[in-house]
Amino acid sequence: MTASFKTAVDSGDATTAKQEMQKAGGFMADVFMDAAGSAGIDYNLILIGHDATGVLVENAENLAIMNQISTTVQQSMEQSMSSFFRRIAAVKVKDEYTKALNALNASGTQVNTFTTAVGTMMTAMAAIDSLYSDYFMDPQAYLTAHPGETTTTMQTAINTAYETAFSTFQTNIQSSDADINTMKAAVAAAFGIPVGQLPLDFGKYYDFSGTQKNWPIPQTVMVSWMASIITAGGSFSTTQRDTTAIPAFMQWLGVCSNPNFWDPGSCQSNGGTWTQQRRDYTAVPFTTPSDAFDAYLGLQEDLQIIESARYSIYNGGQPTREQEKAAKLLFTQRLETLAGYITGTTDGTTAISADQKKAIVKSIMQPSMD
């Protein structure tokens, strides 16, 4: 990291300086997160810690000190910290999911595909940092040299570039058709049913654009692992369901008094009463191949509720930094509690380990940069 800074200063070449500064920033993120991992600190707490520093800056005394700094320097600090925050978030995704994949016996190809996708995303982010490095260093000078650009247009362009990099990452971590088919065969064999009895969209999901995609690699690995332990005589269950309140906007999550309908619209239009609540996957009409699969579906639903509850603070407008910090901390605590509800064995004798429980929860969740 230090060598890259020195090379940037000594090079005398603007292009080399940008590239080396970008590399130094990447190494800084790696060092930061490696230190956290070595100390046994949950990576989520590192991100929460950054929110906490933001809260401190916003108090009256510190804000007065910050306001003595020129607007240009403040903007530069803001952009640099945003870039660094994205970098440590990318390292978090790479390390957490690599650990989870290995804990659940992912194949070497699956691990490599995932880590390569993260690497591609980080390379894209590095290119964004390099492209906009002049703006990060001195926003006002950049805007003066580029008539027509504004702080708003630049921020929009930068955010869009990062969003595109993450969207590409989500596409790149899709499971292959072969892995999906292998997983379906393993699940059917484990639970003693024909593959044709699995839901038609099993192994598929719809992204925000409405495009159907294969499950992300971590989810496919997790379900395949569950099938493998059932085949080996093991078991998978949870001691209880999560109790986080269901956010009001999750109206689609519930049950109809008429069991023939599965969504609020068709339920009510056919004279039924829709009740927002968790679903009981052990009951008809939620019959599944086994108790283990019931537990999996319940765990998946609880995770959706926990994630939605975390982001519900944005429904009423932009929350304060203190509210964001508190929401992230509560989210992390709820995940730890949920992992603790998992129980079972991998072969009828060996208990599912603490690392495997954390990996199960992580693998069911969609990778996130925050």
Pick from 90, 246, 244: nearest CA to 173: 90
Q: Taking all residues of the chain, what is their mean pLDDT, rounded to a whole number? A: 87
CB 151 within 8 A of CB 40: no
Identify which of 22-31, 284-293, 298-307 has the greatest average pLDDT: 298-307
Per-residue model confidence (pLDDT) at position 75: 65
- pLDDT, greater one: 21 or 169: 169
- pLDDT, greater one: 212 or 116: 116
Per-residue model confidence (pLDDT) at position 72: 66
Asked which of 65-69, 117-121, 246-250 is least confident by mean pLDDT, the reply is 65-69
Tokens representing residue 117 in the block: 């996708």
Residue 229: is its pLDDT beyond 90? Answer: yes
Q: If you count them, how many residues does the chain have?
A: 370
Residue 102: is its pLDDT beyond 80? Answer: yes
pLDDT tens figures, 129-175: 878 877 877 788 889 999 989 989 998 998 899 889 988 999 999 99
H-type helices in 104-147, by residue range? 108-131, 133-137, 139-145
First to last CA, the chain: 24
Q: Phi first, then psi: what are they for 116, rounded to 5°?
A: -65, -40
Q: What is the pTM of this model?
A: 0.83
